[in-house]
């Protein structure tokens, strides 16, 4: 989210929604949070919440799948387009390495693991 230029309001909105996520049957996650409750929890006005959600939808972090009605939460598909898979099973003796530009494996040198000398 930092690489996408998200503001603190957007990060806090996603964090609050992550607390109420539930898995979808076909994969992925869905979350909803009543607007008044979210504003109260974060100490925001309605305008700030609306702007944060609109920017998150524009950046592709949220996809609306339901709308608020009579105090119920609007529902959003969290991180659409990012497939969710359960962690792969580890096999005896395997040491899977992360892949990708930003996921380089790293190791601490011996003797520098936060212990006092």
The pLDDT value given to residue 117: 45
User: CA 43 to CA 11: how far, in whole Å?
Assistant: 15
Could you tell me where the DSSP H helices lie in 22-86?
A: 35-42, 46-59
pLDDT tens-digit readout, 63-100: 988 777 765 678 899 988 776 655 555 555 555 555 55
Q: What is the model's pTM?
A: 0.66
Torsion of CA 20, 25, 26, 31, to 10 degrees: -10
Residue 48's pLDDT band, with cuts at 50, 70 and 90, is very high
Question: Distance (Å, rounded) from C-alpha 91 to C-alpha 97?
Answer: 13
Mean pLDDT, rounded, of the chain: 77
Give me the mean pLDDT over the 1-18 stretch. Answer: 90
């Amino acid at each position: 989210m930092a690489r996408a230029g998200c503001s603190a309001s957007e990060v806090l909105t996603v964090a609050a929604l992550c607390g109420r996520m539930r898995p979808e049957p076909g994969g992925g996650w869905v979350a909803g949070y009543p607007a008044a409750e979210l504003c109260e929890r974060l100490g925001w006005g309605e305008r700030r919440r609306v702007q944060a959600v609109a920017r998150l939808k524009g950046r592709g972090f949220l996809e609306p799948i339901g709308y608020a009605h009579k105090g119920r939460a609007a529902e959003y598909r969290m991180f659409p387009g990012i497939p969710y898979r359960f962690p792969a099973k580890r096999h005896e003796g395997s040491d899977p390495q992360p892949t990708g530009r930003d996921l380089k494996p790293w190791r601490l040198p011996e003797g520098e693991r936060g212990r006092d000398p």
